[in-house]
Amino acid sequence: MEALVSFFSNYMLYILMGVTILTAVGVVYSKNAVHSVVALLLTMILVAGIYLMLDAEFIAAVQLLVYAGGIIVLFVFMLLLVALHKDEALRLFNTYTLISLGLVAFLVIMLAVVFFGTPFGPAPATVTNIVKGGSTEAVAGTLYSAYILPFEIASILLLVAMVGAIVLTKERGKS
Amino acid sequence: MNVTVNMTALMPLIILFAGISLTALMGTMKDSVKRLAGLVASISVVFAFWWVMERILPAIGTAAMESQSGMLTYSYYSVFLSGIVLITAVAAFALSEHYLLEEDFSHPEFYAILLASITGMMVMLNTSNFVNIFIGLELLSIPLYASVAYLRYKPESVEGGLKYFILGAIASGFLAYGIAMIYGASGSLDFITIVKTVKTDSLFRLGLLFILMGLAFKAAAVPFHMWAPDAYEGAATPVTAFMSIAPKAVAIGVLIRILYSVFPQMVDYWREAVLVLSILTVIVGNFAAIVQQSVKRMLAYSSISHAGYLLMGIVAYSVEGVSGILFYLAGYMLINTGAFGVLSLLKIGDDDFVSYDDIRGIGYRYPLLGIFMSVFMFSLAGIPATVGFMGKFYVFKALIHANYMSLALVGIGGSLVSVYYYLRVVVHMYMKENPEERKFNLNFLSMTVLAICSVLVIAAGLFPAKIADIANVAARFMN
Amino acid sequence: MVPLIDYLILSAVLFTIGIIGILIRRNIITIFMSIEIMLNSVNLAFVAFSRFLGNMDGQIVVFFIFAVAAAEAAVGLALVVAWFKLKESIQVDDMKLLKG
């Protein structure tokens, strides 16, 4: 049992991370948009798994609900609406792409250098504020006290996203 | 955890939200009610403005007024910028009224989404917490994407909205990643705590760079300006007027606050970055404006170049520079509202007549419109005795005092180039004959807005002391 | 415990993959998906920092980024539908109207 736990906490995570990267690459490089959506769904689920490893149960659950349950469904609907069944040719080797890939390589190297150059301390054994039953209570305590204002603003944001989407379907000449 | 809520500080947001709800609901009502949406939206903005000026301003002293431990923070500085945003909003609503009726596409929801964008700006300006900066930026942007694409039967409008959306989403990704790095390096999202922990290690530097990129995008600074000409040209002209002023004022204002009061220790580092951005922005904005064939698109590039002058003011890193920027923004608000306001009147049915060829002879056929447009163009070009000249004067003076002589020269060179394309508008209006006679409907409300703007442009250009004093106070009390 | 740096590198790699997707794809819906990957990488960085700093603020931000992602998806896809109705296409290359 002890060995299993240590295997899980050490190697399983790297497998998870590796598969996440593979599926993310799948989103970007599959020629068919439907394949991309499925790969995106897998990426989201795997990232939720990584959140679980980081003791963020609540965030993991919301990730599944919002992304897998909401946003992915929106994407699928959209693909149905615009009836996209053609494969697309990727432009892999023109000058524009090469320049932008160069910039991207520069970006990832810069990020890696910065992250490796910063001395991060070890993780605390238990997260403060978490008593029992996971992080949900701690998240709720912070969200509904210190961060109540941004929470309300987020509700306006969602309302307005709805109004904005409605505006883009309005008929002409009825006012 | 105890959180003290200050209702006075919350009220402007509540008033604006009431406006959003009312206008959105009006979309479901009778046509006679729908027509009042613009009025309701304007009233809620004016009421919010009144509340900020009458209830919040007196409560601010040398220390800012706070609610919920810094989630909402009103200082003289943020109130000044909030005022600019709210006034621009009322003017844009007044101009929209005529434009949308002429277009025959007036829906109350249009005002609801613009009000939401204004709420986002208020949240972003009056806070000292990165969470609010992020969520405010999104509340600012997402309705703007929709309002650019509002004329959804016009390909250029939807295309502008889509480009704005894609590039804007990338920019918010960068901003969020930058905030994540700052959070990782300092362990907090609150400005005051971050100031105390700021060191100059590389995580801070990269985080700040990402935040700078995100905000430079909103200010349409080169090389993050690719969306601007398309979005500005595709949007309904009153929306363009609003977009060219308010988000820019907010992005520059928040950038100054973050750079000056959260990362003062890293001044040598971010100064270089802003310096490069500002030079690129002035040069690209001015030279791209020269070759345009449409006045609306020319004004889009010109507004990019103005972002460059504002960024130059940031480089000065002094109270004088900030007060110059604030004065510049106040003047720029008057001028740009007016310039786009004139263009919004050059409209018959679905068609905008805003190319250089279309405006030929306007000055003779519509003398008043010609005079207004000339005033705004002279002011944008920085001709003395207008507010545009005084704004540039204050910013460049601050640069020279901060020993950035050569940067000031770049700015002055840019303004000299800009004289060519601004005067070209005036020349086309008065010198050329127009073979086609078009009958434009000069709406009274829009003409009133234009008249007020042009009188204020001249008045503030001749007697700048009053506004300059207020800007000076605002610049000194940022926190 | 896995060190923080591993999570950060994963986040940086995902961020980069998202940007590559935006740059090389021509289909607007796939570009939106790449944007979602970018936002996910940001979330991952926030949660990792939050765990290793031992405070909850990072997870709260992630919660807000979820809300933002949902709002962006709704408006973005409405824009795509509007574009598709006009052009019968969702390729970025068809956006040439306003170049230059």
Report the range of poorest mean pLDDT among A46-50, B195-199, B264-268, B344-348. Answer: B195-199
What residues have CB less than 8 Å from B101, skipping those under 6 apart?
Answer: none
> SS3 for C91?
strand
Higher per-residue pLDDT: A147 or A8:
A147
Mean pLDDT computed over B454-463 = 94
Reported as a single tens digit per residue, the pLDDT across B359-411 is 888 888 899 999 999 999 999 999 998 999 999 999 999 999 999 999 999 99
pLDDT greater than 50 at residue A56:
yes
Write a three-state SS string for chain B: CCCCCCHHHHHHHHHHHHHHHHHHHHCCCCHHHHCCHHHHHHHHHHHHHHHHHHHHHHHCCCCCEEECCCCEEECHHHHHHHHHHHHHHHHHHHHHHHHHHHHCCCCHHHHHHHHHHHHHHHHHHCCCEHHHHHHHHHHHHHHHHHHHCCCCCCHHHHHHHHHHHHHHHHHHHHHHHHHHHHHHHHCCCEHHHHHHHCCCCHHHHHHHHHHHHHHHHHCCCCCCCCHHHHHHHHCCHHHHHHHHHHHHHHHHHHHHHHHHHHCHHHHHHHHHHHHHHHHHHHHHHHHHHHCCCEHHHHHHHHHHHHHHHHHHHHHHCCHHHHHHHHHHHHHHHHHHHHHHHHHHHCEECCEECCECCCCCCHHHHCHHHHHHHHHHHHHHHCCCCCHHHHHHHHHHHHHHHCCCHHHHHHHHHHHHHHHHHHHHHHHHHHHCCCCCCCCCCCCHHHHHHHHHHHHHHHHHHHCCHHHHHHHHHHHHCCC
User: Across the interface, do C5 and A67 touch by the CB < 8 Å criterion?
Assistant: no
CB pairs under 8 A between A and B: 116
Residue that has been written with the tokens 């804007």 in this structure: B168
Burial of B273-300, coded b for 16+ CB within 10 Å and e otherwise, reads: bbbebbbbbbbbbbebbeebebbbbbbb
On the CB side of B289, CA atoms within 13 Å amount to 32
Residues of A in contact with B97 (CB under 8 A): none
In a domain, B353, yes or no: yes
Q: What are the residues facing B129 on neighbouring strands?
A: B190
Please check whether residue A30 is in contact with residue A39, taking contact to mean a CB–CB distance below 8 angstroms: yes
Dig out the tokens for A54 from the structure. 């980081």
Locate the domains of chain C by residue range. Answer: 4-89
- The nearest alpha carbon in chain B to A165 belongs to B146
How big is chain B by its Cα radius of gyration, in Å? 21
pLDDT greater than 50 at residue B344:
yes
Burial of B22-52, coded b for 16+ CB within 10 Å and e otherwise, reads: bbbebbeeeeeebeebbebbbbbbbbbbebb
Residue B171, pLDDT score: 93
CA distance B394 to B320: 8
Dig out the tokens for B10 from the structure. 């919350």
User: Across the interface, do B162 and C83 touch by the CB < 8 Å criterion?
Assistant: yes
Residue C100, pLDDT score: 37
Report the range of poorest mean pLDDT among A10-19, A22-31, A87-96, B149-158. Answer: A87-96
Full domain range(s) for residue B453: 7-476
In a domain, B335, yes or no: yes
A67 touches chain C (CB under 8 A): yes
User: Across the interface, do B132 and A164 touch by the CB < 8 Å criterion?
Assistant: no
Assign A86 a pLDDT band (cuts: 50, 70, 90).
low
- The per-residue pLDDT of chain B, averaged, comes to 92
In a domain, B256, yes or no: yes
The minimum CA-CA distance between A133 and chain C, rounded to whole Å, is 15
Residue C1, pLDDT score: 66
The minimum CA-CA distance between A23 and chain C, rounded to whole Å, is 10
- The nearest alpha carbon in chain A to C2 belongs to A10
User: Across the interface, do C35 and B131 touch by the CB < 8 Å criterion?
Assistant: no
Reported as a single tens digit per residue, the pLDDT across B145-200 is 999 999 999 989 999 999 999 999 999 999 999 999 999 999 899 999 999 887 77
Residue C96, pLDDT score: 53
Mean pLDDT computed over B211-226 = 92
- The nearest alpha carbon in chain A to B177 belongs to A111
Residues of C in contact with A67 (CB under 8 A): 36, 40, 66, 69
B197 touches chain C (CB under 8 A): no
Task: Of B225, B274, B217, give the one whose Cα is nearest residue B247.
Answer: B217
Residues of A in contact with B113 (CB under 8 A): 160, 163-164, 167
Of C19, C29, C82, the CB nearest to A104: C19
CA distance B134 to C50: 17
Residue C26, pLDDT score: 78
Mean pLDDT computed over B429-438 = 78
User: Across the interface, do B138 and C86 touch by the CB < 8 Å criterion?
Assistant: no
The minimum CA-CA distance between B301 and chain C, rounded to whole Å, is 11
Task: List the subunits that have 3+ CB pairs under 8 angstroms with C.
Answer: A, B
pTM: 0.94
CA distance B224 to B213: 8
B25 touches chain A (CB under 8 A): no
Reported as a single tens digit per residue, the pLDDT across B267-298 is 999 999 999 999 999 999 999 999 999 999 99
B413 touches chain C (CB under 8 A): no
Residue A84, pLDDT score: 61
Of B134, B158, B177, the CB nearest to C64: B134
Mean pLDDT computed over B86-102 = 95
What residues have CB less than 8 Å from A105, skipping those under 6 apart?
Answer: none
Assign B82 a pLDDT band (cuts: 50, 70, 90).
very high
Q: What are the residues facing C68 on neighbouring strands?
A: none
Residue A125, pLDDT score: 62
pLDDT greater than 60 at residue C97:
no
Residue C93, pLDDT score: 65
Residue A127, pLDDT score: 54
CA distance A122 to C37: 27
Considering only residues 50 to 79 of chain C, which have any Cβ-Cβ distance to chain B shorter than 8 Å?
53, 55, 57-58, 60-61, 64-65, 67-68, 71-72, 75-76, 78-79
Tell me what percent of the residues of chain C surpass a pLDDT of 90: 53
Choose the mutation target among A159, A168, A169, A171 for the interface with B, i.e. most B CBs under 10 Å: A168
Q: Hey, what domains does chain A have and what are their CATH numbers?
A: 2-84+128-169 (1.20.120.1200)
Residues of B in contact with A114 (CB under 8 A): 181, 202-203, 205-206
In a domain, B1, yes or no: no
In a domain, B229, yes or no: yes
ipTM of the complex: 0.94
H-assigned helices in chain A: 2-7, 13-29, 33-53, 57-63, 72-81, 95-117, 136-143, 148-167
User: Across the interface, do C57 and B149 touch by the CB < 8 Å criterion?
Assistant: no
CA distance C1 to A122: 9
Of A27, A70, A127, the CB nearest to C54: A127
User: Across the interface, do A160 and C5 touch by the CB < 8 Å criterion?
Assistant: no
Residue B311 CA: distances (Å) to CA of A9, B59, B90, B253, B368? 49, 31, 26, 10, 34
Mean pLDDT computed over C55-65 = 93
User: Across the interface, do A175 and B145 touch by the CB < 8 Å criterion?
Assistant: no
Burial class (CB in 10 A: 0-12, 13-18, 19+), A85: exposed
Mean pLDDT computed over C90-95 = 68
In a domain, B99, yes or no: yes
Q: Name the phi and psi angles at B190, rounded to 5.
A: -90, 130
Please check whether residue A55 is in contact with residue A135, taking contact to mean a CB–CB distance below 8 angstroms: yes
In a domain, B154, yes or no: yes
In a domain, B360, yes or no: yes
Per DSSP, the residues of A62-109 read HHIIIIIIIIHHHHHHHHHHTT---------SSHHHHHHHHHHHHHHH
Residue B468, pLDDT score: 94
A6 touches chain C (CB under 8 A): no
Number of domains in chain B: 1
Considering only residues 90 to 149 of chain A, which have any Cβ-Cβ distance to chain C shorter than 8 Å?
90-92, 97, 100-101, 104, 107-108, 111-112, 115-116, 120-124, 127-129, 135, 138-139, 141-143, 147
Fold of C4-89: Helix Hairpins (1.10.287)
Of B67, B113, B201, the CB nearest to A118: B201
Reported as a single tens digit per residue, the pLDDT across B11-57 is 999 999 999 999 999 988 998 999 999 999 999 999 999 999 999 99
Higher per-residue pLDDT: C74 or B63:
C74
Of C15, C78, C98, the CB nearest to B177: C15
A157 touches chain C (CB under 8 A): yes
How many other CB atoms sit within 10 Å of the CB of residue B318?
16
Residues of C in contact with A66 (CB under 8 A): 66, 69-70
B33 touches chain A (CB under 8 A): no
Considering only residues 57 to 116 of chain A, which have any Cβ-Cβ distance to chain B shorter than 8 Å?
110-111, 113-115
